Structure formats: structure tokens, C-alpha cells
A and B are shown apart, each in its own frame.
Chain A
């Protein structure tokens, strides 16, 4: 088990390094570099000044050298300054991580709390009317553009009914626990609807497959009730692959969080990354993207490690395949 996990950890670090180089290169291709922006702000600067400034900040170096210099600083915890927030980029991101984790965490738990019972219920009555309706609802959730869903929710609950705030983190001057909860409702609903369909379909398929196994028939044959068979025997086996699916879905969840946070002015990492990219805030965009990727990779890694822990057959199979 240990070599497998160590190997995966090593892989994740490599992926993160490769990605950091790719993202570093891409960010450099965004319109206007810092010197161009300075020139815009000061018309007296001549092209010669611009060249000297670029040399001063090392912008005339080859991209690999610049990347390695950035990486060296990053390893020491120096991720540069955020242009638009006027403080270290790492501090800005640190302020957003908690909000994103809160939003993602609640939505994920809520999605699973809906998906598991509904998926199992549908799998126990395959091809029935209930199953059909559940399937339709799942397709609807998967096909719903999240930003449109957010718009509709804002129109219904904030504009028409005036029950909930249209966005933001808290009412100015209030900020109590209940008030913040109030502001969380619509973002959480949006993100949950966007992710619950896939989970439900997956659990239904997994449960349907598990119910065909011989040990289920044996359990039924020895006289256990269907409830006992499902909760005692089938559920564990059917939910095992869910660990992987949840791990792999972190990337998509984060994409959903970016939209949701932008729509509801929720100050999380997603909105920060979006604002940073649009506002030419290179250092912030770079570290934000890397943090998002890093969080996703950690999610994948934990899912893989969790799977091996729950099902030791995986690592054994992997080793046999390698030999």
C-alpha cells in the first residue's frame, strides 16, 4: 500500500510542477505586461526607459530562467505582490480559501446526502416510473447552465419574493451567523443542483450492478429483508467507487464554484482568480490557479489513497500489472 501511495504523491507533485510552468507561460501571454501598464500610466516614459525597466525586473530573460526564479521565490513562500489588492498575493488567496472550502464543502455534503438515498431508491426500482423521473431530474441538473440557474434563483428569491439576498457575504453592519447563513443559501443551492445529478446517476448504476452479485442473492436466500441486504451488504460495495468519483469531481466542483462565487459576489478563490485574470493581476492569478489545481490534486490523491485503504485489492492489482 505504501509504495502505491508514495508513487501517486510523487506523480501529483510532478503534475503540479508541469502545470505551474504551463500556467506561468500562459499568464505571460495575457495582454499587457507590468511594464506596459507602467508606460500607460506615465506617458513620459520612453521606449529606452521601458527596456531598462524590463531588464531591471528581469523581464528580458528567457521564460525558463524567469520561471525558475519565480519557482525559487515561491519555494521560500514569496509569491509576489497582488497589484490590485496591494498586499502579498498569498495573503489575498488565503482570505478566499476558507470561503471556497465552506461553499464547496456544504454543497458536496448536501449533494451526497441527496444523491445516495435517491440513487439507491431508484436502483431498487429500475425502469419504474420513479426511476424514470429521477433520471429525468438528473439529466436536467447536469444540463442546467449554472450561471443561468443562479440568475433564475436571484430573480425568484431576491427580486420577486425578496426572501434572500442577491449576493455578497453578509449585510453591512450585521454579519451575524444567521445573516451569513442567509447569504450562503442561494450559492449552495446552485452548486448542489449542478453536481447532484452526476452523483445520483453514478450511485444508481453502481447499486444496480452490486445487486446482481451472488452474495446479494445468498443474503436474500438466507431470509434477510431487502432493507437489511441493502444497508448491510450492498451499500458498502456500491459506495466504494463513489470515493473515486468524488475525488475526480473536485476540478469540476471548483469550476462550478468559480461561476457561483462570481454570480453571488462570494469572496472565494474562484471569484478572486476570475477578477485577477480580468484585472491583469498576474501574481494573484498565477498563485490562485496553482492553489486551485493543488487543491484538486490533493482531492484526487486523497480519493486514490482512500480507495486503497478501503479496498486493498487495488494496490495489489496495480503491482501485479506492473510486473
Chain B
């Protein structure tokens, strides 16, 4: 019984050696905590991220507004924290959805092999090589009522949130799918899987009980690495006006206005972008560290 524990401990130690990954994890937890706590802090302090104040437009940092105010007098810090809530929630939800789609495609392609695998993998390669951003823009621009969705869905306030999660998941699954397929191909040849086949286990059971639990590490690594990419996609779509719609703040749409104001208030462009950059790089470092810790063979 001590063996699994020691493996976990070894993984933990290897992860702790990757100082950038540890720092990134701390930074991300802090950011998540602040973002989640933003509404609480607001109600305690009697502030509001959506209150406009036309007498205090584009103010420099002050005691009342630690990072100053935006072009219609909203507190920048509060809006950044609210934007963080949205951006992080979208990223995590889309990453999980992508991971589920990718895992399913990867494990089926790897396990059943043959022509089925060939078709699925050509499809995956096709999606990877496409110019994704223009296609995402079209997906973001389509009129949901033409899809026959009821008005209660198309008119709801959160529709831009769900829509962006859905369209990013449609293209975000490819990395996970490839890694899971590769892992499935090796696992399929191992004795314990062949033993299960000999005992008459069905394909579904073998994939669920024998293959997927052993493919967890690549799934975790690929999902973590994909979060960064997803945040970039979300922010650029929101920036272009096709993602999260104002007045709901997201780091991307906060930059939309900043672009128009670069001549009069260039300072507004700094913080939202910096937070996107820090979050994305932190997820990338974290993925890198997890890869070193969970799969030492993959290191270079």
C-alpha cells in the first residue's frame, strides 16, 4: 500500500522543483480567489462595478479607485475582477468540455483503430490546420433564432457566455484527442488490457476501466495547456465584439474601448491585457510543470 503513495509523493516533489509552475499555481489560485470574492467585497464596501460616474471619467489611480476609472467612470479594479470571473469561468468550462470531447474521440480512435481511426485522425488534423479564428468569428456571428432555438434561450442574458463556451469547445478538443489516442495505442498492447480482452470484457468496459484511468496524466496536462489557448480565443473574440457582450465585463471586451481611446487614455489598455497575458502564461507554465511531474519520459 505504500507504493502508490510514494509515486504520488515523487510526482509532488518533481512538481515542486518546477518553481515557475508552483509560482503560476499560486498566482492563479490568488487570481481565482480575488475574482470569486469580488462580488462579496463589493457588497461589503458598498461599491459596484457597473455604476457609471460621468464626473470621474478616466481618472488616475486614487485611494477610492486603486487603479483609477474607465472612460465612463466605472472602477477599473472591480471591473477587472469581474472580467476575471467571466474569463476564468469560460476558460475552465470550455477546457473541460474540450477535454471530454477530445478524450472520447481519442480513445475510440485509438482503441478501434483501422479505417475508423484513420478517418477520425484526418478529421482532427484537418481541424488543427484550419484558420480557426475566421471560422470562430462566423460561429460567433450566427443568428441563434435561425437554428430554431426558443426565444427564452436566444434572448437570455447569459447566451453570449454559453455560446462562446460552445464554439470554443467545438475547436478546442484536438490536442487532447491526439494525446489520448497515442496513449490508447500503447496501452492497448499491454498485458493487462490483453488479459481483459481474453476474459471477454467488452470494448466499452476496457476503455472505461483499463485504458482511461491510465491515460489521466496526458489528459490533465493537455487540458491545462489548452486553458491558455482558450483564454486567448475568448479574449480576442470578446475584443472583436463577438464574445462576451457588455455591460458584462471580460478582459477581452474591456480592451475594445481601450483601442478607441489610445490617444486620450492609453493607460486603460494596460491592465486587462496584462491580466490575460499573466493568466495565459501561468496556465502554460503550470501545464509544463505538470508534464514534468506526471510524465518524466516526456521531458525533452
Interface residues of A (CB under 8 A from B): 11, 15, 19, 23, 26-32, 126, 139-140, 142-148, 151-152, 154-155, 159-160, 166, 205, 208-209, 247-248, 250-252, 254-255, 258-259, 262-263, 270, 273-274, 277-278, 285, 288-289, 292-293, 296-297, 299-300
Contact = CB atoms under 8 A, between A and B. Distances in A.
B46 interface: no
Contacts of A148: 255, 269, 272-273, 276-277
Interface stretch (B29-37, B65-73, B141-149): B141-149
B269 A152 contact: yes
B235 A145 contact: yes
B17 to A, nearest CB: 12
A160 B281 CA distance: 27
B197 interface: no
| Interface of A, helix, strand, loop or mixed by DSSP | helix
Contacts of B236: 145-147, 259
B240 A251 contact: no
Contact of B240 (A30, A31, A140, A274): A274
Given A251-B132, A289-B135, A143 B235 contact: no
Determine chain B's interface SS by DSSP, over half rule: helix
Given A258-B134, A274-B137, A285-B138, A145 B266 contact: no
Nearest to A262: B240
Nearest to A166: B262
B259 A151 contact: yes
8 contacts: A19-B130, A139-B285, A145-B280, A147-B255, A151-B258, A152-B273, A258-B137, A289-B138
A233 to B, nearest CB: 20
A296 B131 contact: yes
B239 interface: yes
B146 A29 contact: yes
Interface of B: 122, 126, 128-135, 137-139, 141-143, 146-147, 228, 232, 235-236, 239-241, 255, 258-259, 262-263, 266, 269, 272-273, 276-277, 280-281, 284-285, 288, 300
A277 B138 contact: yes
Contacts of B133: 254-255, 258-259
Given A142-B284, A145-B232, A255-B134, 8 more contacts: A26-B142, A29-B147, A126-B300, A145-B273, A250-B129, A251-B130, A273-B137, A297-B129
Nearest to A263: B259
A273 B132 CA distance: 13
Nearest to A142: B284
A47 to B, nearest CB: 17
B143 A31 contact: yes
A30 B262 contact: no
